[in-house]
Amino acid sequence: MIDRCQVCLSENSIRRKKPKSSNYTYPLEKVYTDLSTFEKVAGNPKAGQIIVISIIDAFSNYLIAGTISNTTSKTISKFFEVHLFNQFGYPKQIHSDNTKYYTEGAFAKMCKSYGIIQSFSIK
Q: What's the average model confidence in pLDDT over 38-49?
A: 82
pTM for this model (two decimals): 0.79
Q: pLDDT for 44-99, tens place per residue?
A: 777 789 999 999 999 999 999 999 999 999 999 999 999 999 999 999 999 999 99
Q: What is the pLDDT of residue 88?
A: 97
For the chain, list the strands marked E by DSSP: 31-41, 44-57, 63-68, 93-96, 117-120
Q: What percent of the chain shows pLDDT beyond 90?
A: 70
Alpha-carbon dihedral sign for residues 86, 59, 63, 116: positive
* Amino acid sitting at position 72: T
Contact indicator for 118, 94 with CB cutoff of 8 Å: yes
Q: What is the pLDDT of residue 79?
A: 98
Judge whether residue 13 has pLDDT over 80: no
Contact indicator for 49, 39 with CB cutoff of 8 Å: yes
**Residues near 34 by beta carbon (within 8 Å), at least 6 away in sequence:** 53, 54, 96, 97
Residue 90, number of CB atoms within 10 A of its CB: 15
Domain positions in the chain: 23-120
Q: What is the pLDDT of residue 18?
A: 55
Exposure string for 49-74, b = 16+ CB within 10 A, e = fewer = eebebebbbbeeeeebeeeeeebebe
Spell out the CATH class of 23-120.
alpha beta
Tell me which residue of 39, 44, 108 sits closest to 74, measured CA to CA. 108
Using DSSP, state whether 47 is helix, strand or coil. Answer: strand
Judge whether residue 17 has pLDDT over 90: no
